[in-house]
Structure 1
Amino acid sequence: MSRTVYFEDLHTGLRFKSEPFDMTEEGLIRFSRDNDPQFFHVDPEAAKESIFGGLIASGWQTGALTLRALLEGCGMTFAGGVVGMDAHLSWKRPVRPGDRLHIEGEITKLRASRSQPDRGFVTFKAATLNGAGEIVQTIEATMLAFRDPAREANRER
């Protein structure tokens, strides 16, 4: 079950891990046909002749599924939604049909907004790993986190 979190609930060093999710050939091809239709993402036979030696997921699909795993599989829901401010992705190894992936990460920095006291900024680093424990993607991102209005009202009293 997911719990709603506010800026005040977070701290540097807070670690998180998602539930695993599977990459299917059908899902990989469907995403790539719509978003990244390169032959090594959409044609299993032609992909055998690529530098990858077979079908691989688009890095953008891996990134999108990482976001989904963070939203659904880490047990936290950010109040007001996840609003990204900055992100740096790095793809380390190909993701293939049949891979089982999960996310592991840690909050590395918190900064209260000086101009808007109802929010702050959360920076985290995370890795997407396959079933063999190999890192397939890394991300360092900063997102917006809202403060809890109920706690703010208590502080003002």
Structure 2
Amino acid sequence: MAEHYLEDFAAGQVFRSGTLAVTEEAIIAYAREFDPQPFHLDDAAARGTMFGGLAASGWHTAAMTMKLLVGSEFRPAGGIIGGGMEELRWPRPVRPGDVLRVEVEVLEVRPSRSRPQQGMLRARCTTLNQQGEAVQVFVPNLIVPRRPG
């Protein structure tokens, strides 16, 4: 897939990713390593929590989202490089058996005044499950190079 420079983006564009199936094993493995809380590690223990069953860590959801973004049609030249984040929400849990996908809506594109070789792209990245329900929403400000020459 071709990489896109700042000039290739416009507010209102929507990019979509492929899908990623979430397994119980992946949820538990991530949790053991990075977020060892009972509702991420054990379904029986998780049933007694606000989640009502095993749920992926929000940070695991963020990592899966990044994997989907990198493999998607949303391809800023030089990579997906963050310059900050305005919003990050997890409106519902990710469960074993969910199939995730990401939609990226370009909200704003602006050239940098101080660095003419780059600009900022503000986007809304929504991770959806197989029912089309949002499981993560974040609004990053990305640094995107301008077309050389």
1:65-119 deviations in Å (ceiling 9; x for gaps): 11211111x2243222211011221010011000011111210101101111100
1:80 counterpart residue number: 78
Aligned residues: 148
Shift of 1:122: 0.2
Report the CA distance shift for 1:28/1:18 in structure 2 as closer, same or farther (over 3 A): same
Shift of 1:132: 1.1
Shift of 1:52: 1.2
Matches within 5 A, 1:1-157: 2-72=1-71, 74-87=72-85, 88-149=87-148, 153=149
Say whether the 8 Å CA contact 1:15–1:107 is kept in structure 2: yes
Secondary structure at the aligned position of 1:3 is classed as: coil
Structure with a larger share of its residues in helix:
1
Aligned-partner Cα distance in 2 for 1:109–1:68 = 23
Secondary structure at the aligned position of 1:85 is classed as: strand
Say whether the 8 Å CA contact 1:66–1:103 is kept in structure 2: yes
Percent identity (aligned): 42
Shift of 1:135: 1.2
Shift of 1:126: 2.1
Secondary structure at the aligned position of 1:40 is classed as: helix
Say whether the 8 Å CA contact 2:11–2:107 is kept in structure 1: yes
Q: TM-score, normalised by structure 2?
A: 0.94
Report the CA distance shift for 1:65/1:92 in structure 2 as closer, same or farther (over 3 A): same
Let me know the Cα RMSD of the aligned residues. Answer: 1.1
Say whether the 8 Å CA contact 2:129–2:135 is kept in structure 1: yes
Runs of 5+ consecutive residues of structure 2 not aligned to the other structure? none
Say whether the 8 Å CA contact 1:3–1:76 is kept in structure 2: no
Say whether the 8 Å CA contact 2:16–2:74 is kept in structure 1: no
Report the CA distance shift for 1:75/1:9 in structure 2 as closer, same or farther (over 3 A): same
Shift of 1:50: 1.6
